[in-house]
Amino acid sequence: MIKSINHSWAVGDKQRQKYGDTWADIDFYFDRPIYKDKFKNDLMNCKIGTLHVARQNFKFTYKDLITCSKQISKTFEEEYWNPEQVNMAIPINIHSSTVLLTKHELVRLSETLQDTVKSATRSYELGLYL
């Protein structure tokens, strides 16, 4: 079974209708397998997995994952409480590509990346190696 963060294949029809397909399909899939030698020798440049957002796929190393998570969290904090951006799409840069997301999609993306960083870090600390 593929290890993912949001298990987007299990999102129900009611949630998909309420929040939209883009929200429902946001997910991070871990590469299989990640060996402990890769983590031990070059943790920051270890290929972790692929982020699926807005029908696009982005490959991530551990360093990219941390950087992107911080960037998206910062954008979330700046844009979420902006009253001018009620129903407007917010441009998000991921690996030199721009993705337009609504506020609730931005929340989902931010939470997904934060959960991915936590999961990868804990797996490394516990020696699970994803």
Question: For 53-112, how does the pLDDT look when each residue is reduced to its tens digit (9 = 90+)?
Answer: 999 999 999 999 999 999 999 988 888 777 766 678 889 999 999 999 998 899 999 999
Q: How distant, in Å, are the alpha carbons of 44, 73, 78, 98 from that of 70?
A: 15, 5, 12, 17
Contact 52, 8 (CB under 8 A): yes
Q: What is the pTM of this model?
A: 0.87
Contact 109, 72 (CB under 8 A): yes
Higher-confidence residue of 125 and 58: namely 58
What does 61-126 look like in DSSP terms, one character per residue?
Answer: EHHHHHHHHHHHHHHHHHHHT-GGGSS--EEEEETTEEEEE-HHHHHHHHHHHHHHHHHHHHHHHH
